[in-house]
Chains A and B, each alone.
Chain A
């Protein structure tokens, strides 16, 4: 009887520690929906109770039903039939049915379409829980952003047509963006959209690497303005599979085998415009991608957690040199680092979720601004602040969580040694599933490009100042001092970069973003270690299992903060030195250092 929510004390703690009730209040627009929908909450406490109940049910479903099917799903994969249809693995079909029965396929959708109207922060928690059970299933479960995009931008008619079915789990969607020559650079999309003389729209061309391209609702980015190059020539369309949509190929992939990756040929396919012309890439797809990035961060976190749990168990039961290997310094160090990096990812991701929820909630308030001018102005300023912060934290989360996921899953294999390399354990699957997370929805390198701008334009500095101004437990004095010294280092590195040029900023973007992320997470850990929530969590007994002894989460988090901040203080100094050393050989010596291509 596994439950991936009730066995995860960190998620339960954060649900209590973070001010989720405030997010609920914004999301429920002052709880006005309770009078029309019998399942909508009427108070913040009721909303938080709802979230916990749904997370618990999902934890049970994921632990007991979905996780046991993941291995078979990985082995079978999807099959492209001669008639162009796709046969999904049995486990995926069964799990999707159970998720629909659990009524969790429209988590963020409004009540009026049958959704749960939960905040994004809670949605991230559910994605983590699903991904821990089966990372590939997240690519179906976690495509709820497609429905969200329709909800944000499409006409009421299209919303009514699709959103009820999304919420009921009757349809799944696909974001049909990538083309052979338009991957990271979506502005280069070529797929043609044109109108007949009756102003009906059609699509013609090829898309590839489309996750769940065999789904029932396809959102397609295509060039509706043939004479306009770049993003402004692109619009977003919705269409359904049929005789004019051909799945030509399923990719043979390293990981996430349960998720079909399709090449699609649109053969003069009838479609409908979403929203307005020329707004396809920005803002529609940009908004969709921001949500998807947070989704991948959640997926990464779930895979990390799964890999850690297997390693934790193995390290306690495997004996070498007469002792459980967890008694060996190198192994226990790996386990602690995995665990803390996972908690660091979770802290950053949930904070990002909170910020995004604040931004969306405040934006909704702006629809009916307060009459008092000063209040309206303050609301506008606050909304802008959260918007800037969301665009800093979103790429940071995607980058950090996916990189941690790759490191944790590799170490997960390492802890198991030879057994980890074998298919007898799930560790190798976790590492294969992890590999895509730093690539899709924008590579790590692109996330850094986005995040470094947020660091250099002052958003990170202001945010760190806000974080530093929070009230902390006095016992954290040393850690806070290290964080403040680290912030000074970050400003030193930023100043150095600004003296040179933008190319130099991108060259050392990763180092600078790493510094900023470590500082932000350091403060978030201190915040957790200053919690008002009293919660006891079990510690490991001699055999590795719980033996009834507990520790308060507050004091445990203080230990986490201490280790994380102390170790990163040295790293921050080193990164700053690296940035300020001024080495530009990447630009000047590339040809010499890499050498020519060796003829094949």
Chain B
């Protein structure tokens, strides 16, 4: 029987590329200086959803909350085989902590049909691993975190193996359920040719507006609106208009969103600067190693 999967994805700065150049003086990261990528474990969650669809049928819907530029991860999801994509973007989301984020996402997911909600275990920017579990709480559905493997899915029940660090548990659960997926669960597929060819121009309404404006730089609002309408109609033919919702669309209670919905307070940020000096080659010989040890003893690195 077919299952409907909703996958929560996030665009994150590529923290592997962090160097001194992208750190601000206050010890926070200048996100703009880092390339934005698909959060790696969210790709594992998407892959698991696509495998479920390949095997049992159903749909995969990718949802993200973020800036308008986060549409890129939704396009990537469509390229890999997602049927639908939703961008939740609203200035009033700014400064949301995990509690507010999971609340906003829950409002969006509630408007979708789902049997299984999938999230990556954690995002590489915040590394909290909280949003998935909090989302399950707010949806009022069971959650299985740290999923390594889906071993069975039938009669509205699934069986998964979840990691418990030094071992694993086999867990069986009735649907609907929320899973958070580990990077060891699978190796994500690359973009699928036909999906990519079909959706290569996919845009959100904001992007359509920007494109219309760019094509008609000197035109009046009405002409731009007409152009945007034209682009929308053309993209609709290939199902390539990415859904875009704001907090009103998902009927979110604003007191639970953004700053007012975020109890997390940052107490202090410590800026740790690792200053590497020049690199030296040490000859892999008896003499080379003896010299190195002497030097390390002398500067008290080793006693």
By the criterion CB–CB under 8 Å, are A58 and B190 in contact? yes
Nearest-CB distance from A55 to chain B (Å)? Answer: 10
15 contacts between A and B (CB under 8 A): A38-B198, A39-B194, A40-B197, A50-B196, A50-B197, A50-B200, A53-B196, A57-B192, A58-B190, A61-B190, A101-B190, A102-B189, A102-B190, A103-B194, A116-B197
The one of B50, B192, B200 that contacts A103, using a Cβ cutoff of 8 Å: B192
Chain B residues, Cβ within 8 Å of A114: 194
The one of A38, A41, A53, A65 that contacts B239, using a Cβ cutoff of 8 Å: A38
Chain A residues, Cβ within 8 Å of B264: none
Chain A residues, Cβ within 8 Å of B196: 50, 53-54, 57
Q: Which residues from 344 to 375 on chain A have a C-beta closer than 8 Å to any C-beta of chain B?
A: none
By the criterion CB–CB under 8 Å, are B193 and A104 in contact? yes
Q: Is B243 an interface residue (CB 8 A)?
A: no
Which 8 A/B pairs are nearest by Cβ-Cβ distance? A39-B197, A103-B193, A39-B198, A101-B189, A57-B191, A57-B190, A103-B192, A61-B190
Q: Is B238 an interface residue (CB 8 A)?
A: yes
Q: How far is the CA of A58 from the CA of B192 in the complex (A)?
A: 9
Q: How far is the CA of A39 from the CA of B240 in the complex (A)?
A: 11
Contact status of A53 and B198, CB under 8 A, knowing A38-B237, A38-B238: no
The one of A38, A41, A65, A102 that contacts B193, using a Cβ cutoff of 8 Å: A102
CB-based A-B contact count at 8 angstroms? 56
Q: How far is the CA of A58 from the CA of B187 in the complex (A)?
A: 15
Number of interface residues of B (CB under 8 A): 18
Q: How far is the CA of A49 from the CA of B50 in the complex (A)?
A: 25
For B47, the closest partner residue in chain A by CB is A101
- Give 1 or 0 for each of A33-48: 1 = CB within 8 Å of chain B CB: 0000011110000000
Nearest-CB distance from A35 to chain B (Å)? Answer: 10
Chain A residues, Cβ within 8 Å of B193: 53-54, 57, 102-104, 116
Q: Which residues from 73 to 102 on chain A have a C-beta closer than 8 Å to any C-beta of chain B?
A: 98, 101-102
Chain A residues, Cβ within 8 Å of B54: 101
By the criterion CB–CB under 8 Å, are B192 and A102 in contact? yes
The one of A49, A54, A98, A116 that contacts B189, using a Cβ cutoff of 8 Å: A98
Nearest-CB distance from A501 to chain B (Å)? Answer: 52
Chain B residues, Cβ within 8 Å of A102: 189-193
Besides A53-B196, A98-B189, A102-B191, 16 more A-B contacts (Cβ < 8 Å) are A39-B194, A39-B195, A39-B238, A49-B200, A50-B197, A50-B200, A53-B197, A54-B196, A57-B190, A61-B190, A101-B81, A101-B189, A101-B190, A102-B192, A103-B195, A116-B193
Q: Which of B54, B196, B197 has the most CB of A within 10 A?
A: B197
- Give 1 or 0 for each of A575-589: 1 = CB within 8 Å of chain B CB: 000000000000000
Chain A residues, Cβ within 8 Å of B190: 57-58, 60-61, 65, 98, 101-102
Q: How far is the CA of A38 from the CA of B54 in the complex (A)?
A: 20
By the criterion CB–CB under 8 Å, are A101 and B192 in contact? yes
Q: How far is the CA of A313 from the CA of B194 in the complex (A)?
A: 36
Q: How far is the CA of A60 from the CA of B194 in the complex (A)?
A: 17
- Give 1 or 0 for each of A103-138: 1 = CB within 8 Å of chain B CB: 110000000001010000000000000000000000
Nearest-CB distance from B150 to chain A (Å)? Answer: 16
By the criterion CB–CB under 8 Å, are B192 and A116 in contact? no
For A59, the closest partner residue in chain B by CB is B190
Q: How far is the CA of A50 from the CA of B198 in the complex (A)?
A: 9
By the criterion CB–CB under 8 Å, are A53 and B200 in contact? yes
For A56, the closest partner residue in chain B by CB is B191
Chain B residues, Cβ within 8 Å of A57: 190-193, 196
Q: Which residues from 151 to 170 on chain B have a C-beta closer than 8 Å to any C-beta of chain A?
A: none
Q: Which residues from 484 to 513 on chain A have a C-beta closer than 8 Å to any C-beta of chain B?
A: none
By the criterion CB–CB under 8 Å, are B200 and A116 in contact? no
Chain A residues, Cβ within 8 Å of B187: 65, 98
Chain B residues, Cβ within 8 Å of A116: 193-194, 197
Nearest-CB distance from B149 to chain A (Å)? Answer: 15
Nearest-CB distance from A68 to chain B (Å)? Answer: 10
Q: Which of A98, A103, A104, A114 has the most CB of B within 10 A?
A: A103
For A49, the closest partner residue in chain B by CB is B200
Chain A residues, Cβ within 8 Å of B192: 57, 101-103
- Give 1 or 0 for each of B188-221: 1 = CB within 8 Å of chain A CB: 0111111111101000000000000000000000
Q: How far is the CA of A65 from the CA of B237 in the complex (A)?
A: 34
- Give 1 or 0 for each of A544-559: 1 = CB within 8 Å of chain B CB: 0000000000000000
For A41, the closest partner residue in chain B by CB is B197
Q: How far is the CA of A143 from the CA of B193 in the complex (A)?
A: 19
Chain A residues, Cβ within 8 Å of B238: 38-39
Chain B residues, Cβ within 8 Å of A103: 192-195
Nearest-CB distance from A95 to chain B (Å)? Answer: 11
Nearest-CB distance from A545 to chain B (Å)? Answer: 15
Q: Which of B50, B81, B189, B198 has the most CB of A within 10 A?
A: B189
By the criterion CB–CB under 8 Å, are A53 and B237 in contact? no
Q: Which residues from 35 to 66 on chain B have a C-beta closer than 8 Å to any C-beta of chain A?
A: 50, 54
Q: How far is the CA of A378 from the CA of B186 in the complex (A)?
A: 56
Nearest-CB distance from A587 to chain B (Å)? Answer: 54
Q: How far is the CA of A77 from the CA of B35 in the complex (A)?
A: 41
Chain A residues, Cβ within 8 Å of B50: 101
Chain A residues, Cβ within 8 Å of B197: 39-41, 50, 53-54, 116
Chain B residues, Cβ within 8 Å of A49: 200
Nearest-CB distance from A176 to chain B (Å)? Answer: 29
Q: How far is the CA of A98 from the CA of B188 in the complex (A)?
A: 9
For B187, the closest partner residue in chain A by CB is A65
Nearest-CB distance from B192 to chain A (Å)? Answer: 4
Q: How far is the CA of A215 from the CA of B81 in the complex (A)?
A: 27
Q: How far is the CA of A53 from the CA of B81 in the complex (A)?
A: 15
Nearest-CB distance from B143 to chain A (Å)? Answer: 28
Nearest-CB distance from A2 to chain B (Å)? Answer: 12
Chain B residues, Cβ within 8 Å of A39: 194-195, 197-198, 238
Nearest-CB distance from B38 to chain A (Å)? Answer: 13
Chain A residues, Cβ within 8 Å of B194: 39, 103, 114, 116
Q: How far is the CA of A103 from the CA of B197 in the complex (A)?
A: 11
Q: How far is the CA of A139 from the CA of B236 in the complex (A)?
A: 40
Q: How far is the CA of A312 from the CA of B196 in the complex (A)?
A: 34
Chain A residues, Cβ within 8 Å of B239: 38
Nearest-CB distance from B183 to chain A (Å)? Answer: 14
Nearest-CB distance from B15 to chain A (Å)? Answer: 15
For A111, the closest partner residue in chain B by CB is B194
- Give 1 or 0 for each of B73-100: 1 = CB within 8 Å of chain A CB: 0000000010000000000000000000
Nearest-CB distance from A105 to chain B (Å)? Answer: 10
Q: How far is the CA of A103 from the CA of B238 in the complex (A)?
A: 18
Q: How far is the CA of A349 from the CA of B85 in the complex (A)?
A: 41
For B16, the closest partner residue in chain A by CB is A1
For B201, the closest partner residue in chain A by CB is A46
Q: How far is the CA of A49 from the CA of B199 in the complex (A)?
A: 12
Nearest-CB distance from A579 to chain B (Å)? Answer: 48
Nearest-CB distance from A249 to chain B (Å)? Answer: 34
Nearest-CB distance from B208 to chain A (Å)? Answer: 18
Chain A residues, Cβ within 8 Å of B191: 53, 57, 102
